[in-house]
Amino acid sequence: MTRRLILIEGLPGSGKSTVAQMVSEILKGQGKEVQLFQEGNLDHPADYEGVSFYYAGDFEVLLKTYEEYREILESNVTAHGDGFLIPYRKMKEQRGIEFPSHVVQDIFSRDIYEIPFAQNVKLITEKWQDFTQNVLSTNDDCITIFECCFIQNPLTMGLVKCNHSKEQNVQYVLELGRIIHALNPLLIYIDQKDISYTFDKAVSERPKEWSEGFIHYYTNQGLGQAQGYQGVKGTVQVLQERKKLESEIYELLQMDKVWLDNSDYDREACRHKLEKILQ
């Protein structure tokens, strides 16, 4: 069966972005057609980034609240089931000051990753189903590479934010795995032995706003809040719990998969391992 999808997963700072780029380069060097979607891509075909969901009645209330922006809102939404999808981040990028930040912030409150867990699962599952069907309907052999949306995003929602049961989180990811089975996916999990060191490295290399936001997200809701975790140490404790669950899910997934140790951050050694995996 032709491989149509490669999934890159791992904790923050593990090297997912670097590995995803390497995989893309190696496959292109083999003459393969490749499309790479990294974290934060606003046009992701299987996930939502900067998109909110409003039921029809709630959307009408939004329009009445921001009557002066009705045209902008109505011309950018997409009908979906019994509601509407609003790509507020893309709208802000395109419209700038015409679409003020206070309106964006209001819409953000119903981001796909802010709404109730069951609603998130439904929308994300449907998105992966649509992606799979779209790939299967094409006649080319293009390989799609996704960074972090397959395991990380569901567990960020189900565990980190909502602190739902292990069973619910496991089933969320396993269902996505069943959906993409026909694409013959390969999962590459980037492992780091020392989670504390890895997170400290990410904090030192990224903007202060990123680390502050990340720590707040991980310790002021869901699992972190329930356990009373605080600060950098608390964030690492949540990451350790996430890593434990991700490891269990990895073992349960019925697909080709590789556990890649990147603890040394040796780019050449990592590339050599990837070349063997992808040959």
- Find the CATH number of the domain harbouring 29: 3.40.50.300
Is residue 39 domain-shared with residue 90, that is, in the same domain? no
Looking at the fold, whether 257 and 273 belong to one and the same domain comes out as yes
- What is residue 70's DSSP assignment? H
9 and 145 share one domain: yes
pLDDT at residue 1, rounded to an integer:
74
Residues 107, 206: Cα–Cα separation, whole Å: 27
The closest alpha carbon to 134, from 278, 5, 1, belongs to: 5
State the Cα torsion 56-61-64-69 to the nearest 10°: -70
Q: In terms of domains, do 204 and 69 share one?
A: no
**C-alpha to C-alpha distance for 205 and 15, rounded to whole angstroms:** 12
Range of the domain at 258: 5-47+132-278
**What values do phi and psi take at 42, rounded to 5?**
-75, -10
pLDDT in the model for residue 68: 97
Indicate whether 124 belongs to any domain: no
Q: What is the pLDDT along the chain (279 residues), one digit of tens a residue?
A: 799 999 999 999 999 999 999 999 999 999 999 999 999 999 999 999 999 999 999 999 999 999 999 999 999 999 999 999 999 999 999 999 999 999 999 999 999 999 999 999 999 999 999 999 999 999 889 999 999 999 999 999 999 999 999 999 999 999 999 999 999 999 999 999 999 999 999 999 999 999 999 999 999 999 999 999 999 999 999 999 999 999 999 999 999 999 999 999 999 999 999 999 999
Q: Are 77 and 167 contained in the same domain?
A: no
Rounded to two decimals, what is the model's pTM?
0.95
pLDDT score, position 258:
98
**40 and 67 inside one domain:** no
Q: Which residues contact 203 (CB under 8 A, 6 or more apart)?
A: 211, 232
Residues 136 and 244 in one domain: yes
Per the domain annotation, does 121 fall within a domain?
no
Residue labelled with tokens 């052999």: 141
In this structure, the answer to whether residues 33 and 167 fall within a common structural domain is yes
Same domain, 56 and 43: no
- Gyration radius of the chain over CA positions: 19
The answer as to whether 218 is a domain residue is: yes
The reply to whether 113 falls in a domain is no
Q: Which of 231, 255, 258, 229 is nearest to 241 (CA)?
A: 229
| Predicted local confidence at residue 139, as pLDDT | 85
**Does some domain include residue 217?**
yes
Q: Give the model's pLDDT for residue 144.
A: 98
The domain tally of the chain equals 2
**Locus of tokens 């006649």:** 139
In a domain, 250, yes or no: yes
| 169 shares a domain with 94 | no
CA 59 distance to own-chain centroid: 25
Say if residue 101 is in the same domain as residue 147: no
Same-domain status, 98 and 21: no
Is residue 123 situated within a structural domain? no
CA-closest candidate to residue 229, choices 150, 159, 149, 151: 159
H, E, C per residue of 148-193: CCCCHHHHHHHHHHCCCCHHHHHHHHHHHHHHCHHHCCEEEEEECC
| In a domain? residue 119 | no
